[in-house]
Structure 1
Amino acid sequence: MLIAVASKTGTEVDQHFGHAESFKIFKYRKGNPLQVSEVEVEKYCSFDPDHPFRHRQFDGIAEA
């Protein structure tokens, strides 16, 4: 199973998904996580309360 996490520090899941500029991709197998890549993304949240949901920005994450 692959899991994407947002992290400021690289050691904790400590960042809001919409504020992340990258996601660390982990492979989780038999109780052991192993970081396999990092995917840079455009920040999703603009802090505008009326911003639309932009599905296109998640395409690259799903492919990782």
Structure 2
Amino acid sequence: MAGFWALRIDPADMPDPTYDPPPEGVNSAKAVLAGGCFWCTEAVFKELDGVATVRSGYAG
């Protein structure tokens, strides 16, 4: 059990999430979609041509 605690990561040590905006001059749009299991939905949309980024989470 001591080994488990040695591997514990403090959330304060984690870096802030990053976001890479599209380059200047690129025509893009944002879509907000709802789905049951959002990780499964994210996996499908990541594979579509023309999709630059996909982020899942709770809305609101």
TM-score normalised by the chain length of structure 2: 0.26
Which of 1 and 2 has greater Rg?
Answer: 2
Higher relative contact order (CA 8 A, sep 6+): 1
TM-score normalised by the chain length of structure 1: 0.26
Q: Which has the larger strand fraction? A: 1
